[in-house]
Structure 1
Amino acid sequence: MELRIPTLEQLRTVYDRDLRTAFPAAELKPLKNMEEMWAEGRYRPWCLFDGDDIAGEAFLWLGHPGWALLDYLCVAADRRNGGLGSVILEKLREAERGNVIFGESEIPCYAPDPAMAERRLGFYARNGARTAGYDTEMFGVPYKTLYWAEGKVDESALMEEHRFIYASTFAPDKFRRYVRIPFDPNGTPGERVSWQQ
């Protein structure tokens, strides 16, 4: 199996086949946005190829050089529960060596399915993710912040890069309204709204 960048047509295929079925519509970026960001050099879609078949994906939202947000990690429905999520993360870390990759995973107590959110956090921990000292809230969904790095990471720099990803993409009013980095763990999350809001 090989992790590589897909063609535009392959990206469109896995978006419809995998991402639409695996992620709630409110949490899924429109394909048009992904395509535009990719064309601008701000997005990198990696796909795990098994011959000509795509078994799963890991999409990175790029920030300043050396920093990337793991936007989506997905295994094709017919290939799940076979360890491919771990394979994708391992190959992604090899392909992105030298970069700090960070991500978000729902905080169980706020999740519609707390047990699934716990399992997801456990999966990331087993695959080398460290938990940052701050949480986030995006569009009313509170998340734990996770990251992978070869060495020590200054968490204030991590938080700044995390903010940069969203602030450089959304209009200032949208950023202020829907993005909280950090999220106050004693605060109340905002209303859950679609990413497209």
Structure 2
Amino acid sequence: MELRIPTLEQLRTVYDRDLRASFPAAELKPLRNIEEMWAAGRYRPWCLFDGDDIAGEAFLWLGHPGWALLDYLCVASDRRNGGLGSVILEKLRETEGDTVIFGESEIPRYAPDPAMAERRLGFYARSGARTAGYDTEMFGVPYKTLYWAAGDVDEAALMEEHRFVYASTFAPDKFARYVRIPFDPQAGLGAKVEWQQ
């Protein structure tokens, strides 16, 4: 199996086949946004190829050089429960070895399915993720912040890079209204909205 960048047509296929089926509409970027960000050099859609078949994906939303947000991790529905999620993350870390990859996973107590959120956090921990000292809230959904890095990471720098990814994409009023880095549970949750609104 090999991790590589797909063609535009392959990207469109896995978006429809895998991402639409696996992510709630509120968490899924429109395909046109992904394509525009990729064309602008701000997005890297890695796919795990098994021969000509794509078994899964790990899409990176790029920040400053050396920093990237793991935007989506997905295994094709007919290939699940075979350890491919871990394979994708392992190959991603090898391929992006000089990059601090950070991500978000729902905080179980706020999740619609707390047990699933706990399992997801356990999967990421087994895959080498470290938990940052701050949480986030995106469009009304609170997340734990996770990251993978070859060495030590300054958490203040991590938080700034995390903010940068969103602030460099969204208009200032949208960023101020819907992105909270760090998330303060005492402030209450924002309204849940689809990210493209």
Residue equivalent to 2:95: 95
CA distance in 2, matches of 1:135, 1:148: 16
Residue equivalent to 1:113: 113
Letter in 1 for 2:191: E
CA distance in 1, matches of 2:99, 2:185: 28
Aligned 1:57-68 pairs, distance under 5 A? 57-68=57-68
Instruction: Please tell me whether the aligned partners of residues 137 and 143 of structure 1 are also in contact (alpha carbons under 8 angstroms).
Output: yes
Residue equivalent to 1:14: 14
Structure 2 unaligned blocks of 5 or more = none
Equivalences, count: 197
Instruction: Please tell me whether the aligned partners of residues 135 and 182 of structure 1 are also in contact (alpha carbons under 8 angstroms).
Output: yes
Residue equivalent to 1:136: 136
In the TM superposition, structure 1's runs of 4+ consecutive aligned residues that sit over 3 Å from their partners are none
SS in 2 for 1:135: strand
Normalising by structure 2, what TM-score? Answer: 0.99
SS in 2 for 1:186: helix
Query: What are the superposed Cα offsets for residues 32-70 of structure 1, whole Å, 9 maximum, x if unpaired?
Result: 000000000000000000000000000000000000000
Aligned 1:64-79 pairs, distance under 5 A? 64-79=64-79
Residue equivalent to 1:162: 162
Structure 1 unaligned blocks of 5 or more = none
CA distance in 2, matches of 1:191, 1:162: 21
Residue equivalent to 1:31: 31
Letter in 1 for 2:39: A
Normalising by structure 1, what TM-score? Answer: 0.99
SS in 1 for 2:182: strand
SS in 1 for 2:188: coil
CA distance in 2, matches of 1:186, 1:84: 38
Instruction: Please tell me whether the aligned partners of residues 135 and 185 of structure 1 are also in contact (alpha carbons under 8 angstroms).
Output: no
CA distance in 1, matches of 2:101, 2:187: 27
CA distance in 1, matches of 2:185, 2:109: 11
Query: What are the superposed Cα offsets for residues 21-42 of structure 1, whole Å, 9 maximum, x if unpaired?
Result: 0000010000000000000000
SS in 1 for 2:65: coil
Identity within the alignment, %:
88
Residue equivalent to 1:178: 178
Letter in 1 for 2:174: K
Query: What are the superposed Cα offsets for residues 83-134 of structure 1, whole Å, 9 maximum, x if unpaired?
Result: 0000000000000001100000000000000000000000000000000000
Instruction: Please tell me whether the aligned partners of residues 59 and 72 of structure 1 are also in contact (alpha carbons under 8 angstroms).
Output: yes
CA distance in 2, matches of 1:23, 1:15: 10
Instruction: Please tell me whether the aligned partners of residues 55 and 79 of structure 1 are also in contact (alpha carbons under 8 angstroms).
Output: yes
In the TM superposition, residue 14 of structure 1 has moved relative to its aligned partner by 0.1
In the TM superposition, residue 187 of structure 1 has moved relative to its aligned partner by 2.8
Query: What are the superposed Cα offsets for residues 158-185 of structure 1, whole Å, 9 maximum, x if unpaired?
Result: 0000000000000000000000000013
